[in-house]
Structure 1
Amino acid sequence: MVIRFLATLLAFTLPTSLMAQGTDTPDPVEVMILGSYHFANPGRDAVNMEVDDVLSPRRQKEIATLSNTLAQWAPTRVVVEARASGPDFELADYADTDTLLSTSRNESVQIGYRLARAMGHRAVFGFDEQPEGDEPDYFPLQSVQQFARANGQEAILTSLFADLQEQISAEQARLPDQTIAGSLIFHNRPDLVEAQHHKLYYSLLSIGDGDAQPGAELNAYWYMRNAKMFAKLNKVAQPGDRVLVIVGSGHSAWLRHFAERMPGYRLVEVMPYLIGANAASRVDGE
């Protein structure tokens, strides 16, 4: 009786379009997220890593191998962490790819533009989100630090940033002996991406006194920035697309979250392609 009642209720409450979908459901948008350290080392993160010159012949060869390996997935669109205007979110400087590949160290150019051009894509899309006008700071770390100093909670931040610096220093020491693809493996292992995100951001929830909660606000604004970025991706993607996303690895946890949970999307792991590109680069370098 209860099952019959629920079936009747659903028949009256579900939109006709949903009931009629059946086997006509569009193909999902597949999303592959490539998290990266910043090749150009702009110094904008809380803890930054010194990197060697990706325009050197060795690194250019490794990046080309990585691009060729990612091309095996046959992405139909490339989306990068850069700002572009809607509604199309196309990046104008993609037209200058030939010049940029020899002058720009940005990972969006070196991997994203390179791959899109090789595959004959008409455009590369930018989905970054930054505050404008009266919009909030999406990463209000200064407010968190000021509150922590004034309220005896600075030790939480000191411990967190010491751990981060230790990880970055160890990674930096490994870089000279790693290929580009090999160095990116650390930034894309799902277990590490999730663990690092949880340790940093959720530890910051402790910064506050219940009334003022700057740590919680930072978490909320960071979520907002990434949600807006994925919403822009959704404006670009079409059913059946294979979208390669190239983004700072700090964004990976939330972007993976949306790709796994938003209806009509499917997350594709990048790790097999990084492992393959690393192996190919090792062979080429011998």
Structure 2
Amino acid sequence: MKKLYIALAVAVFALTISVQAQHQKEVLLVGVFHFNNPGADLTKLETFDVMSKKSQQELELITDHIKKFKPTKIFVEWEYNDQLGLDTLYNLYLKDTYFDYVRQKFPKNAFYAQNEIFQLGFRAGKKAGLPKIHAIDCPMDWRYDSLQIAIKKAGQTDLQATIDKQIKEFGELTSGLMKKLTLTQMLLEENKASMRNINLGFYITLLNKGGALDDFTGADVVNAWYRRNLHMYSLVQKLTEANDERVMVIVGAGHAAVFKHFIDLDANYKVVELEEVLKK
């Protein structure tokens, strides 16, 4: 009888997943290099001029296509506990006074003029007629310096060399692409499966095994990265309502790699790639 109950439970679960899959919400997942290049990531990149005439024209065309996708919510990498601050800026953007405001308020801070939240997220939101852009970032303490200390203490010199080599090579690869590709081409490149796999694999292949046999600093660092992304994805799930058939997520490419993994496992959602939207 116990086996029968288990079999019935499995069958009901499978049926539920099947029904959910028929009504999956579409998530336009866009992983980006940070347009204002603050230099906060491990990988140091060349500066890409998103304010150039060519890039601005491309952003207009990209967001025209996103308008056709008809997202009902857009999520961006802004701290979720400062939604009010994001609302204030977006309301200025809707009134066409945003860039005058930030030029006066933050004359030496390129973030507010160049970051993808404003250049891509705000632009797409206004064209889609959205009254709000949603903040989902959950910054956490990411102790990479502690990992390096643990690796040194464990005598894992080969591991540290491999980590440094991969960071350097990935930075050179991305910087090289920035020098020869347009903004649109760069965004498509950042969202290729191969690039996401490099991003995601770095944590598991290398960082996770950092530390001595009884020292799990590496796993703790990877856990902190996953935890941050799980919190962010949880906000997407909670803020997406029943009538939201299509939403958009704009995050750093590293976050997008993890999000793709989450969405592929989530019976309620499916990823729509930027490449698909630009073809329509």
User: In 1, are the aligned partners of 2:76 and 2:250 still within 8 Å (CA)?
Assistant: yes
Alpha carbons of structure 1 residues 90 and 21: separation in structure 2 relative to 1, 3 Å:
farther
* Distance in 2 separating the partners of 1:25 and 1:258: 15
1:224 alignment counterpart:
227
Deviation above 6 Å: which 4+ runs of structure 1? Answer: 18-26, 86-90
Gaps of 5+ in 2: 104-112
After TM superposition, the structure 1 = structure 2 runs for residues 1-286 of structure 1, keeping only pairs within 5 Å, are 6=4, 10=8, 27-85=23-81, 91-97=87-93, 98-100=96-98, 104-131=113-140, 137=141, 139-239=142-242, 240-273=244-277, 276=279
Check conservation: 1:188, 1:249, Cα contact below 8 A.
yes
Rate the CA distance shift 1:89–1:241 in 2: closer, same or farther, 3 A.
farther
Higher mean C-alpha displacement, 111-120 vs 177-186: 177-186
Q: Which sections of structure 1, spanning at least 5 residues, go unmatched?
A: 132-136, 278-286
Identity percentage over the alignment?
A: 25
Cα distance between partner residues in 2 of 1:20 and 1:186: 36
- Could you state the TM-score of these two structures normalised by the residue count of structure 2? 0.82
Q: Deviations over 1:150-190 (max 9, x none)?
A: 22224323322322322322332332432111011221012
Instruction: Give the AA of the match of 1:126.
Output: A
Choose 20-29 or 64-73, whichever is displaced more.
Answer: 20-29
Q: TM-score, normalised by structure 1?
A: 0.80
> Are the equivalent residues in 1 in contact too, given 2:30–2:251 (CA < 8 A)?
yes
Using the TM superposition, name which of 157-166 and 83-92 deviates more. 83-92
* Cα distance in 1 between the residues matched to 2:29 and 2:17: 29
| Root-mean-square deviation over aligned CA pairs | 3.3
Give the 3 Å change call, closer, same or farther, for CA 95–192 of structure 1 in structure 2.
Answer: same
Deviation at 1:270, TM superposition (A): 2.4
Give the deviation of 1:51 after TM superposition.
1.6
Equivalent-residue separation in structure 1 for 2:133 and 2:164 (angstroms): 35
User: Any idea what the Cα deviations from partners look like across 1:124-173, whole Å, max 9, x if unmatched?
Assistant: 00100023xxxxx2x22111011122222243233223223223223323
The C-alpha deviation readout for 1:175-211, integer Å capped at 9, x for no partner, is: 2432111011221012320233113443112211121
Alignment: residue pair count: 265
1:54-94 CA deviation, whole Å, 9 max, x = no partner? Answer: 12222211111121122222211110010133899964321
Matched residues in 1 for 2:241 and 2:77: separation?
19
